[in-house]
Amino acid sequence: MRLYRLIDGCCEPHRQLDALYSSLEEAIADAVEWLEQGWQETGLDALFALIGVEVCAANGDWRTCRLPMPLLTPLLCPLPVPVRAALS
């Protein structure tokens, strides 16, 4: 079984999300949930919002499989308004 862990913007094990995960999807889901709960309110450095993932190799070394990057990004353009809503 492979194990995954989250890393911060400095490629160090993430201090707030310090857990081992059985899948990449589980690790990302936990990180997204933490971000959606408002990490900004904790007063942490923005580097903690950059999240990557490492996988444990067979020899016990950790290898980066996803570089730290923002998981939640704002839209670059507004969503289109549905036609029915625009006519109301």
The answer to whether residues 43 and 66 touch, using CB atoms and an 8 Å cutoff, is: no
Query: In the beta sheet, which residues pair with residue 62?
Result: 56
Distance CA 3, CA 53 (A): 10
Q: Structure pTM?
A: 0.74
Q: Amino acid letter at 22? A: S
Q: How does pLDDT run across 24-62, given as a tens digit for each residue?
A: 999 999 998 888 877 656 666 666 788 999 999 999 999
Distance CA 83, CA 37 (A): 33
Q: How does pLDDT run across 60-80, given as a tens digit for each residue?
A: 999 999 999 887 665 555 556
